[in-house]
């Protein structure tokens, strides 16, 4: 099969895009895991526990340098990192510098510090983001906020409405109606409310290009007035003075964390009660694809996306599931109640089973991601070879 010069150019662009996506994905994943493991490392050292190795990436080892009692290594598989803590599997219980020798609260702190560092990273990224400007809904006037690139976006298209028939899509940005520039949601709503049965010409921005739609407003019982059947959101790039950005970053971190916890609660509840998955899960492949899409949108969107991933990683790691930090803390709580530790063999067995279950889940989600995004890869390839 021969590929023409234009197709070769398309193939080159695809390869470059995929390489950039892969590099950005590895960098973000490495940052998140590095910060997580750094939390464990610092907490262990502060509590007098020996850290035998702090590795960036996973073995096999590329090289390592020993400083004090710790080997700092760089490994060939660049997907995260690890810390090897003395006594983390229950051994060397009699040694003062062993994890197993420390008090329950110290061990709990060491285990929880990775999660805490991911929250700190998210707050730092969001605080910096609010200094330079982050995409945000504009729902009122704030005298301290600086707003740029304000726009009216479509966030919902109701079925059986003129907007649906005109193939208006979620994410479209409304620019004008009948030549009138639209700057406020109420401006658009009031205009179409007085145009029931009269076709109007609407200009949208979709993925950087302008499109024109002719839509005829109708009376909708849902709104009680003339409408085309869309949900609207005014958004923009919002920034704050540095002293407010710190607070806004912490506030956004808390808000995002609450939303993630609620999402996991709904997921688990529906999985148990209705035996169905109520939210869209993504594994490594799905996250890599999303990373590429967000990276193309710009740095500030990638910054916000990284903060969200850090929060998700923190919440997941703190779930009371074997092999995760939260699962290990559950065993410390049991030890506190029983006044003696659980048999190390039993605990290790439970964690190994939990780890195996997580690996199976990751494989299933990865398979689902490949199936879900396969049409995009096939479409790209077909456009290249045509």
Q: Return the structure tokens found at 147.
A: 């707003």
In a domain, 268, yes or no: no
Kindly tell me the burial class for residue 130, based on how many C-beta atoms sit within 10 Å of its own C-beta (0-12, 13-18, 19 or more).
buried
Residue 334 confidence class, pLDDT cut points 50, 70, 90? very high
In a domain, 91, yes or no: yes
In a domain, 76, yes or no: no
What CATH number does residue 152 fall under? 2.30.42.10
In a domain, 56, yes or no: no
From 184, 210, 238, the end of a domain falls on 238
Would you state the pLDDT for residue 370?
Answer: 62
| pTM listed for this prediction | 0.78
Q: Same domain, yes or no, for 23 and 117?
A: yes
The domain containing residue 162 runs over which residues?
Answer: 146-238
Q: Same domain, yes or no, for 123 and 163?
A: no
* pLDDT beyond 50 at 384: no
Which of 6-15, 36-45, 119-128, 344-353 has the least mean pLDDT?
A: 6-15
In a domain, 92, yes or no: yes
In a domain, 81, yes or no: no
Q: What are phi and psi of 100, to 5 degrees?
A: -65, -20
Q: Same domain, yes or no, for 39 and 122?
A: yes
Q: Same domain, yes or no, for 231 and 306?
A: no
**Which residue is listed with tokens 């956004």?**
252
Give me the mean pLDDT over the 361-368 stretch. 71
* pLDDT beyond 50 at 45: yes
From 214, 238, 262, the end of a domain falls on 238
Q: How far apart are CA 39 and CA 83, in angstroms?
A: 10
In a domain, 119, yes or no: yes
Of residues 224, 221, 218, 167, the one with CA closest to residue 195? 218
In a domain, 259, yes or no: no
Tell me if residue 37 is catalytic.
Answer: yes
Q: Same domain, yes or no, for 372 and 314?
A: yes
Q: Write 10-19 long-range contacts (CB < 8 A, 24+).
A: 10/383, 10/384, 11/384, 14/380, 14/381, 14/384, 17/292, 18/292
Residue 385 confidence class, pLDDT cut points 50, 70, 90? very low
Active-site hit among 37, 53, 88, 347 = 37
- Structurally, the chain folds into a number of domains equal to 2
Of residues 131, 125, 127, the one with CA closest to residue 239? 131
């Amino acid at each position: 099969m021969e590929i023409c010069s234009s197709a070769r150019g398309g193939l080159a662009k695809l390869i470059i895009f995929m390489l950039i996506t892969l590099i950005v994905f590895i960098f973000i994943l490495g940052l998140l895991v590095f910060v997580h493991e750094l939390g464990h490392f610092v907490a262990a050292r502060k509590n007098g526990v020996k850290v035998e190795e702090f590795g960036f990436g996973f073995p096999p080892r590329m090289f390592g340098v020993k400083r004090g009692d710790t080997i700092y290594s760089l490994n060939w598989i660049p997907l995260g990192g690890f810390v090897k803590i003395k006594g983390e599997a229950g051994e060397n219980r009699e040694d003062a510098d062993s994890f197993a020798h420390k008090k329950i609260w110290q061990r709990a702190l060491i285990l929880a510090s990775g999660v805490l560092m991911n929250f700190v990273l998210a707050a730092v990224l969001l605080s910096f983001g609010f200094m330079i400007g982050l995409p945000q809904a504009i729902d009122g006037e704030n005298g301290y906020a600086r707003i740029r690139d304000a726009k009216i976006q479509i966030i919902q298209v109701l079925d059986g409405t003129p907007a649906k028939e005109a193939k208006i899509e979620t994410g479209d940005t409304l620019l004008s109606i009948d030549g009138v520039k639209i700057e406020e949601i109420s401006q658009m709503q009031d205009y179409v409310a007085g145009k029931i049965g009269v076709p109007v010409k609407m200009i949208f921005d979709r993925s950087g290009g302008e499109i024109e739609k002719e839509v005829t407003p109708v009376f909708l019982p849902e709104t009680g007035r003339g409408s085309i059947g869309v949900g609207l959101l005014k958004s923009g790039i919002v920034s704050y003075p540095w002293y407010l950005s710190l607070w806004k970053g912490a506030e956004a971190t808390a808000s995002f964390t609450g939303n993630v916890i609620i999402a996991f609660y709904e997921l688990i509840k529906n999985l148990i009660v209705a035996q169905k998955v109520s939210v869209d899960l993504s594994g490594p492949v799905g996250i890599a694809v999303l990373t590429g899409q967000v990276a193309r949108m710009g740095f500030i969107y990638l910054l916000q996306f990284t903060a969200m991933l850090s929060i998700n990683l923190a919440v997941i790691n703190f779930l009371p599931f074997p092999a995760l930090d939260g699962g290990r803390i559950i065993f410390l709580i049991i030890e506190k109640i029983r006044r003696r530790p659980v048999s190390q063999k039993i605990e290790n067995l439970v964690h190994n089973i939990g780890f195996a279950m997580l690996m199976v889940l990751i494989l299933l989600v990865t398979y689902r991601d490949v199936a879900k995004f396969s049409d995009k890869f096939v479409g790209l390839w077909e456009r290249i070879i045509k």
